[in-house]
Amino acid sequence: MNKSFKKMWWKWLGAFLVIATILAGFLIPLKPGIQSIYPQSTAAGQTQEFKIVGYNTHFNDAENNIYLKHLDDVWICTDLIKVINETELRAMFTIPSNLKLKKEYENFSLVINNDKDGYTLLPDALKIKSANNGIDRIKQCEPELTKVVALNFPYRNQLKESIRNQFFHVPMWFAMTILAIVSLIFSIKYLRKEKLQDDIKAVAFNNVIVLLGLMGLATGMLWAKYTWGAWWNFDIKQTTAAIAVMIYLAYFVLRKSITDMDKRARISAAFNIFAFVSLIALTFVIPRMTEASQHPGSGGNPGFGREDLDSTMRMVFYPAIIGFTLIGTWIAQLIGRYFKVKHHINLNE
Partner 1 sequence: MMQVWTLIKKDFLLDWRQKHAVWAMVLYAAIMIFVVYLAFLEIESNIWSGIFWIILLFAAVNAVTKSFMGESDKRQLYYYSLHTPTTLLTAKLVYNVLTMLFLSAVCAALFFLVFNNKIRNLPLFFVTLALGAISFASCLTMVSAITSRAKGNATLMAILSFPVIIPIMLLLILLTADAYQGKTFLDVSENLMILGAIDLIQLAITFLLFPYLWRD
Burial (0-12, 13-18, 19+ Cβ within 10 Å), 253: exposed
Please state the closest distance from residue 191 (CB atom) to partner 1, in A: 5
What is the contact mask toward partner 1 in residues 236 to 265, using x (rule: CB under 8 A)? ----x--xx-xx--x--xx--xx----x--
Burial (0-12, 13-18, 19+ Cβ within 10 Å), 7: exposed
Q: How far apart are CA 139 and CA 77, in angstroms?
A: 9
Part in contact with partner 1 (CB under 8 A); list of ranges 110-118, 163-171, 273-281, 320-328 = 273-281
Residue in 84, 151, 281, 315 binding partner 1, rule: CB under 8 A = 281
Q: How far apart are CA 153 and CA 72, in angstroms?
A: 26
Distances (CA, A) of 39 to 52, 99, 129, 188, 270: 9, 19, 13, 63, 62
Q: Is 232 one of the binding residues for partner 1 (CB under 8 A)? A: no
Q: Which helix (H) or strand (E) holds 340?
A: helix 311-348
Please state the closest distance from residue 241 (CB atom) to partner 1, in A: 12
Please state the closest distance from residue 220 (CB atom) to partner 1, in A: 18
Omega of the bond leading into 296 within 30 degrees of 0 (cis): no
Please state the closest distance from residue 177 (CB atom) to partner 1, in A: 16
Please state the closest distance from residue 187 (CB atom) to partner 1, in A: 10
What is the contact mask toward partner 1 in residues 285 to 324, using x (rule: CB under 8 A)? xx--xx----------------------------------
CB nearer partner 1, residue 244 or residue 331: 244
Q: How far apart are CA 46 and CA 52, in angstroms?
A: 18
CB nearer partner 1, residue 108 or residue 248: 248
Q: Is 273 one of the binding residues for partner 1 (CB under 8 A)? A: yes
Cα 117–chain centre separation: 24
Q: What type of residue sits at position 330?
A: W
Are 126 and 95 contacting, i.e. CB atoms less than 8 angstroms apart? no
Interactions with partner 1, residue window 187-216 (CB under 8 A): 191
Interactions with partner 1, residue window 318-347 (CB under 8 A): none
Binding residues (CB under 8 A) for partner 1: these are 191, 240, 243-244, 246-247, 250, 253-254, 257-258, 263, 266-267, 269-271, 273-275, 277-278, 281-282, 285-286, 289-290
